[in-house]
Amino acid sequence: MKKHIVCLGDSNTHGYCADPADCLDGGIRFTEEQRWTRLLQKHLGEEYLVIEEGLSGRTTCFDDPIHEGLSALDYIYPCLKSHETVDLLVIMLGTNDTKDRFYASAACIGIGMARLVKKAQATECWGGKRPNILVIAPPHIGEGMLKSDVAATMGTGCVEKSRELAKYYKEQCDLTGAHFLDAEAMGCEFNTVDYMHLTARGHATLAENLAAIIPSLVK
């Protein structure tokens, strides 16, 4: 059987495109030739099966008072069980957690990520092997977001909190035994429409970086 890589994330894993001019078919979702998950599959080859589990608005563990079903904590068990056996779980979440309506500091979001990681580790989907999880801190939300159309729903505190996530994620990964990467350090490009979604170039950069790392994580 192929090595199963489950990629759990939000709109940046789903492939939302805020600038249709950046999308090959002019749509609001990047095509299979552009999304980082599909590019990762291409880079890794037929020995791997890269599974997309992206949902716009998804959080680590917070219930959204406006939209239902967005907490990854509630979804992680059926997700992992449906893709059993899992060889690596890649989690890139946190951008939505910074919304003002959740009243969560970066430190609290880090604890939320740890809670999600622990539940994933406790799920019997690993085929008798040690749970294998890679947490990716998303790129920082740009200052331009505060003047964009999404500013009213995101709130003013999210930019600063997004800059602090990597620090707290790294601390929690050290405690839980998860692997850690910082997408900001990779230079993954955000668009200049809402300043919080990857461009096509950003998707390609993320895929290239993960393709260089994942084979060493999956034995």
Residue 43 backbone phi and psi in degrees, to 5: -65, -40
Model pLDDT, residue 168: 98
- Which of 145, 27, 12 minimizes the C-alpha distance to 91? 12
Q: What is the pLDDT of residues 166-200, one digit of tens each?
A: 999 999 999 999 999 999 999 999 999 999 999 99
Q: What is the pLDDT of residues 74-124, one digit of tens each?
A: 999 999 999 999 999 999 999 999 999 999 999 999 999 999 999 999 999
Is the bond into 192 cis (omega within 30 degrees of 0)?
A: no
Residue 54 in tokens: 């992206």
- Domain with 53 in it: 3-217
- Residue 29 DSSP label: B
Q: What is the pLDDT of residues 6-28, one digit of tens each?
A: 999 999 999 999 999 999 999 99
Residues in the chain: 219
- Which of 47, 38, 40, 34 minimizes the C-alpha distance to 3? 47
pLDDT category at 72 given cuts 50, 70, 90 is: very high
pLDDT mean over 138-156 = 94
The tally of domains found in the chain comes to: 1
pLDDT at 3 > cutoff 90? yes
pLDDT mean over 141-149 = 94
Whichever domain contains 53, its CATH number is 3.40.50.1110
The torsion of the CA quartet 215, 38, 49, 96, rounded to 10 degrees, works out to 90
pLDDT at 140 > cutoff 90? yes
Q: Percent of the chain having pLDDT more than 70?
A: 100
pLDDT at 59 > cutoff 90? yes
pLDDT category at 219 given cuts 50, 70, 90 is: confident
Give the C-alpha separation, 2 to 43, whole Å. Answer: 15
